[in-house]
Amino acid sequence: MTENATNSAEPKEVAHGGRRKLLGKVISAKMAKTVVVEVVNHSRDPLYGKYVRSRARYKAHDEKGEFKAGDQVEIEEHRPISKDKRFTVVRLVKKFVEE
């Protein structure tokens, strides 16, 4: 290989590249600095072809306490913060509007 091929112009991000990002809905915001986010996934059944809904609930770190129940948020994997918390809230996707 040539020297130009190994030294590309753009630096590649190596650290923390494997962190999952998930979209979900805040179910509970009653704890201090913690929200419970429900992530819904639709997958196809391999035998029958029917779409099956599965859900998972994750506790995510919310430093400022700015997210309320009903908000759509994006969470990202993080190092363990407490016994159950392994995610942090990255951004607000959609604010909950009560009718």
Q: Which domain holds residue 37?
A: 18-94
Whether 38 maps to a domain, the answer reads: yes
Ramachandran category for residue 47: left, alpha or beta (phi over 0 → left; psi -120 to 50 → alpha): alpha
Whether 78 maps to a domain, the answer reads: yes
Whether 29 maps to a domain, the answer reads: yes
**Tens digits of per-residue pLDDT, 63-83?**
999 999 999 999 999 999 999
pTM: 0.78
In this prediction, residue 98 carries a pLDDT of: 83
Give the number of domains in the chain. Answer: 1
* CATH code of residue 30: 2.40.50.140
Whether 6 maps to a domain, the answer reads: no
Torsion sign across C-alpha atoms 70, 62, 34, 87: positive
